[in-house]
Structure 1
């Protein structure tokens, strides 16, 4: 590909990379707002609350899409800018992998109630832990220490790892939510169980605020490039 055409393509990929970050943040805001409504709607019929909770889980897919897009586009950009070795072949490989990863994430969501759902979910979770480990190791120069990667980008990878870790923390916080929700579905809604649901919302939102802080750090590093 001619250098000018490649430069223009890289610019558009950079625009997409920035837009995905806004898409991610917006999705988190919508999810949290709807989740709060569900948790504090004590007087709403439980069937309606459950329907809205299912909607929250559907919207949560957008966060997963954003993770895949942000990661794959980031690798493409790093390869095109020469921050990691490999150049165009690595960029194309990252793009192809991102498409396959998106398909897998969608399959995990659609088949979550299928008999293969638990296995697919476990593979999805483990793959995220592996990605977090790779990102953290790269940020610490344990991977690619000789790469011409600037310091601000390594810090950005560390912040991105923090974003993913917060996502894991939110998932762990929601375990208590789904446990209490199942009890409400089985034997009824009580003030005590509603209080537990609200407490879980507060815990998950506290972690979410930290996630937003990491996103803010990512934006600052991308603009300021301090090191």
Structure 2
């Protein structure tokens, strides 16, 4: 049957676009603090960063349904019914639509942001709960699936933390666009990005950990 290799390929592409998109966004962020670049050039870099960043945001959301579908096809989910997997797909597709709506509206529609956050926090708690229950033997899950669920919960948590750390970025950036770059605006932008980069790198380590578990598949 072709369904298993197709789902496997889709799940692998999620990892590729997540990590690759994150690397692209990370590189774009270095241009924001490059004093050799003009304010319009940095604004272009920010637009590129925000567009490229939708790849890992999309990948994060789709990693759960694709991973569970692959586990279901391979028979790793025990007695979990197919309807439950279909329900997770439905919720994640709604979540994906909300994430893109937030991006398209530049975060100006409060309802989209609030609904996205409700689903995001719910997904974090569900993944963490299922992962811990799997490790404790309360759910019939292989060890690597329980571990990957905990890693996904951690990735969602780090994504929320990155949002908080980047929140002060827009004020100095807007000031730079209004009156030109100054040592003060450059220092403020560099400070915000410097605080967020270790968290981004920790997220990369989590992704590599998830990939390792997927390859090793310890039971």
TM-score of Structure 1 vs Structure 2, range by shorter chain: 0.7 to 0.9
| SS of aligned partner of 1:112 | coil
Q: Which runs of 5+ in 1 are unaligned?
A: none
Aligned residues: 218
1: CA distance, partners of 2:38 / 2:205: 35
Matched, 1:57 2:50: yes
Matched, 1:12 2:28: no
CA deviation digits over 1:56-103, x for unaligned, max 9? 112211122111221221222233324154433333333344433332
2: CA distance, partners of 1:174 / 1:23: 22
TM-score by length of structure 1 reads: 0.85
2: CA distance, partners of 1:143 / 1:153: 9
Of 103-112 and 17-26, the range deviating more from structure 2: 103-112
| SS of aligned partner of 2:101 | helix
71, 84, 103: which is aligned to 1:78?
71
2: CA distance, partners of 1:103 / 1:21: 20
Matched, 1:196 2:181: no
Please name the residue that 1:100 is paired with: 94
1: CA distance, partners of 2:19 / 2:160: 16
TM-score by length of structure 2 reads: 0.88
Please name the residue that 2:21 is paired with: 27
Task: Name the CA shift for 1:10/1:90 in 2 (closer, same or farther; >3 Å).
Answer: farther
Q: Which runs of 5+ in 2 are unaligned?
A: none
2: CA distance, partners of 1:25 / 1:96: 25
| Deviation (angstroms), 1:188 | 4.1
Please name the residue that 1:217 is paired with: 209
Of 82-91 and 191-200, the range deviating more from structure 2: 82-91
CA deviation digits over 1:38-65, x for unaligned, max 9? 222x232213312321221122111221
Task: Name the CA shift for 1:27/1:11 in 2 (closer, same or farther; >3 Å).
Answer: same
Where do 1:97-176 residues align within 5 Å?
97-112=91-106, 114=108, 117-141=109-133, 146-176=138-168
> For the Cα contact (< 8 Å) 1:112–1:121, is it kept in 2?
no
1: CA distance, partners of 2:95 / 2:6: 21
